[in-house]
Structure 1
Amino acid sequence: MPRNPSTGVYSKPAGTTPSVGQVIDPVPWNALTTDLGNEITNSLPRDGSAPMVAPLKAASGTVSAPGVGFASNPQTGMYLKGGGLLGFTQNGVDVSFDQAMVYAAKSGDYTALASDNNAVHRFTAAAIVTLTAAATLGSNWHYTIIADGADVTIDPNGAETIDGAATLIVPSGYSAFIICSGSAFFSNKLMTKILTKADSSAVGSFVDGLTLSNNTGSPNTHIDFAAGSARSGSSFVSSASTLTKRLTGTFAAGTGAGGLDAGAVAANATYFAYALRKDSDLSFDVVLSTSATIGGVTTTLLTGYTIVKCIGVVLTDASSLIRQFFMNSSDDYSFVTPVRDALNITTNTTSTLLALTVPNGVKVRAKLRFMFSSSATTNSCLVYDPAKGILIAGGNDSGGNVGTMQVASGFAVGSDFVWTNTARQVRHVAGATAGLWVFNDGFTFPCGRTA
């Protein structure tokens, strides 16, 4: 066949170029007319009356001169990009089209590649997604991650960042859309907006759950925090599971890690527990500090965290061990073993301060029981809130909450809930000199729990 199938060039059959006066040989001329007829038949009609019967092979073209264009606008059409990719140009300007979306389920760590452009990957277990270098993926590379079973950590290559941070955590139940700029990665921020929506307009302060307890395995050094949530103004954090912090080490993220904001655990000390929210993924943690206010917490180890609210308190004994306790509703603490804060101390008509085993730096409502003995048969004693100033005990004065039973040197018992001052003290006064015992069953330290 005279037409070269590779180049499309037509060559006449031999013997079909006669000279003047030469007798035409019918064999080659018949072959020529047959070939011409065949080639006309195999040519695409300009009026479109017949279709192609084989693939149309267009020139590769360029963005300004596409291989397939239009007579009226030759700069609009299709061309072949580098790497064998099909390009579309409109008036000499490239028009981008996304490649087909591809879904896949993953159950472990994964490295996202250039071929994952426009992919949607659903992770059914905890995983780290490592991103290939941004320069390799290129500008406009994009990828969707669904965390469906556990948290997924997105980790860019080397020192590259995502939303300006070293990593981005997608909590279980959420998703993130990621796009590459060619040098860094960014998310669509939707996940962050959803998680922080409650913060934007919320007010008030409360603690729901997050109750404290001595850890079963290490009750002298570890504290457990139950699941729950805390809010202070517009700042909110929640936890779906129990978190354990160790009082014998400085703060590190996660359950079982150290909890102190600074220093080492001390004897007969008060440690306030503050709920933390990690800025990158809004997860819950706890720091323990001797400061009774958020402003006094040492934040050296808390970079990347927001201190939300005080959620409880822990006391240590003379051996620097956690004093055993259990929590009741409404922020009420009870010591497993009652503390004898006064053992036959002298009480008389002079109002005197008495220090108790309760949190330091805050006012609490102490749960006290008393025993009283006096040689005066009608004597009584009053233990009370120091904020009331100087009071006088007795039936004709401010009364009492424990007194003798009309028998000289006899014993009487009583109980009361008494507010302390911020120095852990209450006041006591009696109608006459006598002996006083004070048994401390615990205290209420209000943090905002109502149940």
Structure 2
Amino acid sequence: MPRNPSTGIYSKPAGTTPSVGQVIDPAPWNALTTDLGNEITNSLPRDGSAPMTAPLKAASGTVSAPGIGFATNPQTGLYLKGGGLLGFTQNGVDVGFDKASVYAAKSGDYTAVASDDNAVHRFTQAAMLTLSAAATLGANWHYCVIADGGDVTIDPTGSETIDGAATLVLKNGHSVNIICSGAAFFTDKVYSRIQSKADSSAVGDFVVGLILSNNGSSPNTHIDFTSGSARSGASFVSSAASFTKRVTGTFAAGTGAGGLDAGAVAANATYFAYALRKDADLSFDVVFSTSPIIGGITTTLLTGYTIVKCIGVVLTDGSSNIRPFVLYPRDEYTFVTPVKDAANAAISTTSTFLALTVPNGARVKAKLRFQYTSSATTAAALFSDPSQGILAASIGNDGGNVGSVQVAGNYAIGSADIWTNTNKQIRQVAGAAGNIWMWTDGFYFPCGRAA
């Protein structure tokens, strides 16, 4: 063929250039016209009436002058990038396209590298995911992580950050998309919104589960908490597993570790248990404090934690051991061994305070049993809530709750649940001087448990 197959340049057949007065030789002339007809047939019709019958070859072009462009916008089209890659340009600006996603399952720790760009990795157990240096991965590198078997801790290299933090803990059952800026890492914020959803969209004050009990192996020093959750206002925390803290040590993170906010365990003391939420990963923990309010807790050891809510209380005895107890539904505490808070103690017609073995610093409803004796034959005793003020015990005044002695020197018995003041006290008064015995079976300390 006269058309060069490499360059596409047409050269007419030899002997077809006539001179003036020359008789045209039919053979070469007919060859020329036949050849022209063939080449016209092999040309691509501009009206699109026929397709190419072989590959179309275009100039390599550049990003500003693509090999295939448009008459009205020659800077938009296709061009050949370095390395034989196809490039797309729009108004002289390169248009990037994602490469295909690649899925892989990971069963342990892993370091994400540049070739993981646009990869989807599913971790089937708890793992540490290290991100290579942002400069190495480059701007626009992106990566999807699925935690499907355990929490995945995502840790950028060195001092680099992800969403401004040193690490990101992806909780089991969640996924996150990560993108690199070339200097740091960021997420699509969907996971962080899921994490904060409970705090931002719900309110209330309650405790579900998190039942306290003396630890089976170390009942004098350790307290167990069942799984459960707690909320106070906009703060929420939950624990999917049981948890243990001890009162013989200051706070350290994790189950089995020390729990005191400060100091050492004391005798005959009250320790309020507060649910904590670790800010970095929303995990659960507990701190013990003698303060009945969050504002009184010593927070020196609690950096990085949010104090969510008081979830219970424990008392120590004269030997600094935790008193054995059982916690029933609706925050009802019962001592395994009743505490005798009065034994043959004097009582008179003058109202006085009586201290009980209950939490100090908070009002509780004490579960009491009592016994009264008097030399008078018709006297009764009255035990009452201090907020009622000074009462008088007799049928003609404010009544009684220990019965009435009918025979001098005999005993009257009774029981009642009575609210204390914040100093562990109730009021006592009798219709006639005598003596009393008082047993404290436990108390109600409302923390918000409905069951």
Cα distance change, pair 75–276 in 1 and its aligned pair in 2 (3 A): same
Cα distance change, pair 84–158 in 1 and its aligned pair in 2 (3 A): farther
**Which blocks of at least 5 consecutive residues in structure 1 are unaligned?**
11-15, 17-32
Question: Are residue 192 (structure 1) and residue 156 (structure 2) matched?
Answer: no
Amino acid at match of 1:169: V
Give 1:112 shift: 1.0
Give 1:410 shift: 2.5
Cα distance change, pair 287–81 in 1 and its aligned pair in 2 (3 A): farther
Greater alpha carbon shift after TM alignment, 243-252 vs 112-121 = 243-252
In structure 2, what is the Cα distance between the partners aligned to 1:201 and 1:54?
A: 60
Partner residue in 2 for 1:258? 258
SS in 1 for 2:370: strand
Give 1:80 shift: 5.0
Partner residue in 2 for 1:247? 247
**Which blocks of at least 5 consecutive residues in structure 2 are unaligned?**
15-30
In structure 2, what is the Cα distance between the partners aligned to 1:55 and 1:318?
A: 96
Question: Are residue 382 (structure 1) and residue 351 (structure 2) matched?
Answer: no
Amino acid at match of 1:232: S
- Cα shift readout 1:390-433 (whole Å, capped 9, x = no counterpart): 11112222222224642332233221111100011111111222
SS in 2 for 1:145: strand
Question: Are residue 351 (structure 1) and residue 384 (structure 2) matched?
Answer: no
Amino acid at match of 2:346: T
Kindly indicate whether the alpha-carbon contact (under 8 Å) linking 2:358 and 2:364 is maintained by their aligned counterparts in 1: yes
CA RMSD of aligned residues (A): 3.0
SS in 1 for 2:282: coil
SS in 2 for 1:443: strand
Partner residue in 2 for 1:150? 150
Partner residue in 1 for 2:101? 101
Kindly indicate whether the alpha-carbon contact (under 8 Å) linking 1:374 and 1:404 is maintained by their aligned counterparts in 2: no
Partner residue in 2 for 1:219? 219
Question: Are residue 202 (structure 1) and residue 202 (structure 2) matched?
Answer: yes
Give the 5 Å matches for 1:306-321. Answer: 306-321=306-321
Amino acid at match of 2:215: N
Give the 5 Å matches for 1:29-428. Answer: 59=60, 62-66=62-66, 74-79=74-79, 81=81, 86-403=86-403, 405-428=405-428
- Cα shift readout 1:227-254 (whole Å, capped 9, x = no counterpart): 2222222222222221212222222222
Kindly indicate whether the alpha-carbon contact (under 8 Å) linking 1:141 and 1:179 is maintained by their aligned counterparts in 2: yes
Give 1:365 shift: 0.2
In structure 2, what is the Cα distance between the partners aligned to 1:113 and 1:254?
A: 33
Cα distance change, pair 159–404 in 1 and its aligned pair in 2 (3 A): same
Partner residue in 2 for 1:24? none
Greater alpha carbon shift after TM alignment, 124-133 vs 248-257 = 248-257
Kindly indicate whether the alpha-carbon contact (under 8 Å) linking 1:373 and 1:404 is maintained by their aligned counterparts in 2: no
Give 1:82 shift: 5.7
Give 1:9 shift: 12
Cα distance change, pair 90–349 in 1 and its aligned pair in 2 (3 A): same
Give 1:53 shift: 6.5
Aligned-residue identity in percent = 68
In structure 2, what is the Cα distance between the partners aligned to 1:65 and 1:271?
A: 77
SS in 2 for 1:196: helix
Cα distance change, pair 203–73 in 1 and its aligned pair in 2 (3 A): closer
Give 1:142 shift: 1.0
Partner residue in 2 for 1:22? none
- TM (normalized to structure 2)? 0.85
Cα distance change, pair 80–285 in 1 and its aligned pair in 2 (3 A): farther
Cα distance change, pair 9–366 in 1 and its aligned pair in 2 (3 A): same
Partner residue in 2 for 1:21? none
Partner residue in 2 for 1:13? none
Greater alpha carbon shift after TM alignment, 363-372 vs 427-436 = 427-436
SS in 2 for 1:402: coil
Kindly indicate whether the alpha-carbon contact (under 8 Å) linking 1:378 and 1:403 is maintained by their aligned counterparts in 2: no
- Cα shift readout 1:276-332 (whole Å, capped 9, x = no counterpart): 222233222222211111111222222222222111111112222211111011110
Cα distance change, pair 55–287 in 1 and its aligned pair in 2 (3 A): farther
Kindly indicate whether the alpha-carbon contact (under 8 Å) linking 1:370 and 1:439 is maintained by their aligned counterparts in 2: yes
Give 1:361 shift: 0.8
- TM (normalized to structure 1)? 0.85
Partner residue in 1 for 2:23? none
- Cα shift readout 1:75-128 (whole Å, capped 9, x = no counterpart): 334445567654322222111111111111112111111111111111111111
In structure 2, what is the Cα distance between the partners aligned to 1:136 and 1:218?
A: 52
Kindly indicate whether the alpha-carbon contact (under 8 Å) linking 1:372 and 1:434 is maintained by their aligned counterparts in 2: yes
Partner residue in 2 for 1:444? 444
In structure 1, what is the Cα distance between the partners aligned to 2:319 and 2:447?
A: 27
Give 1:132 shift: 0.7
